[in-house]
Amino acid sequence: MKTLTSTITYNQKEHSNATTAEIKHFYDEATDDYTFWSKDYNMHFGYYSMRRSNPFYRDTMLNEMNRQVLLRLQLSNDKQTLGDLGCGMGGTMRFLMKQLPLLYTLGVTLSDFQLQEGNKLLKGSKGVIVKENYENTSFKSNSLDGAVAMESFCHSGHSYTTLKEAYRILKPGKRLVITDAFLKKDPSLLCLGSKMSYEGLCKKWSLDGLGVIHQVEKNLKEIGFSSVVVEDISLKVAPSVLHVPFAIPLFLIKQFFKNKKVREQSWNNLIASFYSLTAGLHRNAFGYYIITAEK
Ligand SMILES: C[S@@+](CC[C@H](N)C(=O)[O-])C[C@H]1O[C@@H](n2cnc3c(N)ncnc32)[C@H](O)[C@@H]1O
């Protein structure tokens, strides 16, 4: 673990819609709010499974998404190292290490808040969060036994560079699992309603854009990934998206009674969450997918 983290470099790369500085600022200010979304600090939407989750208990769905990712990673019970590329507060890392006690996890984030507070939550475990850009990490080539990217690659627009870096650091035969929202068509072909949701979502959540799903699949294959499996799980994710209109007013009411000011990035987070709901209604334009790709 030490050799992987000792030569950390932090590369500043500018995107047209979301700069790394904007992403960092967003998460430094808004991460704290996610305790309201998930007591396990899962910063993603959930996966509804009739047998394993309760649609009224959000965390059961958020953790089920972690479990679905674990199933697709096909990790063994041996000592292995997994990279979480855009790890948030390490919610997924902690979930995976609980299931596989010999697993080491290495999370990367741009946010100083997540680096400090996330590492506190990981204390005593085999996991560590480092401040790195997932588009250009200091990790050795062929060093990871698995990689996950849960609602994180959208910040770089699911760019070719991002996917290529994930390919470089994975060992041959090992898997990358991505869970995220994607476009079903080119942004220039979106109707007015979809376009408004898309632009609002990107602006308020500091996303460079969402990849167009068939283009991302093509890019993964071109980079060298094999066995690329693309699953549309929009309907499984919908029950957790439906929590948004209830969770947000409750969050605001709580802040009001605690006499706490709602910060600018928290407002952005709340507004973007509403846009995710309106985007979800445009099923011909947006979808939520799990992508599994093997090196
Ligand atoms: C919505 S959060 C998801 C966190 C985590 N995957 C989860 O599901 O709980 C997005 C994460 O991506 C990270 N991120 C965004 N762009 C990044 C980049 N270029 N390099 C590293 N991390 C990045 C953010 O710092 C944040 O931790």
Report the pLDDT value the prediction gives residue 15, as an integer from 0 to 100: 57
Q: Is 108 in the pocket of ligand 1 (CB under 6 A)?
A: yes
Question: Any residues with CB less than 8 A from the CB of 275 and at least 6 apart, and which?
Answer: 197, 200, 201, 204
Paired strand residues for 144:
170
Question: Maximum Cα–Cα distance for the chain, whole Å?
Answer: 53
Kindly give the residue spans of alpha helices, DSSP state H, lying in 74-139: 91-99, 112-121
Ligand 1 centroid to Cα of residue 237, in Å, is: 19
Report the pLDDT value the prediction gives residue 16, as an integer from 0 to 100: 62
Paired strand residues for 149:
178
Please write the tens of the pLDDT for every residue from 138-156.
Answer: 999 999 999 999 999 999 9
Please write the tens of the pLDDT for every residue from 120-144.
Answer: 999 999 999 999 999 999 999 999 9
In the chain, % of residues over pLDDT 70:
94
- Residue 231 sits at φ, ψ, to 5 deg, of -115, 125
- The answer to whether 228 touches 291, Cβ cutoff 8 Å, is yes
Domain ranges of the chain: 2-294
Ligand 1 centroid to Cα of residue 257, in Å, is: 30
Ligand 1 centroid to Cα of residue 51, in Å, is: 29
- Of the residues 11, 13, 22, 23, which should be mutated to test ligand 1's pocket, given the most ligand atoms within 8 Å of the CB? 23
Ligand 1 centroid to Cα of residue 9, in Å, is: 17
* 1.10.10.60, 3.40.50.1240, 3.40.50.150, 3.40.1440.60: CATH of 2-294: 3.40.50.150
pTM, rounded to two decimals: 0.92
Report the pLDDT value the prediction gives residue 256, as an integer from 0 to 100: 80
Report the pLDDT value the prediction gives residue 66, as an integer from 0 to 100: 98
- Of the residues 134, 155, 204, 288, which should be mutated to test ligand 1's pocket, given the most ligand atoms within 8 Å of the CB? 155
Structure tokens at 176: 């990358």
Please write the tens of the pLDDT for every residue from 19-76.
Answer: 899 999 989 988 988 888 899 999 999 999 999 999 999 999 999 999 999 999 999 9
Q: Is 103 in the pocket of ligand 1 (CB under 6 A)?
A: no
Please write the tens of the pLDDT for every residue from 190-238.
Answer: 999 999 999 988 998 889 999 999 999 999 999 999 999 999 999 999 9
- The answer to whether 215 touches 25, Cβ cutoff 8 Å, is no
Question: Any residues with CB less than 8 A from the CB of 264 and at least 6 apart, and which?
Answer: 29
Report the pLDDT value the prediction gives residue 2, as an integer from 0 to 100: 35
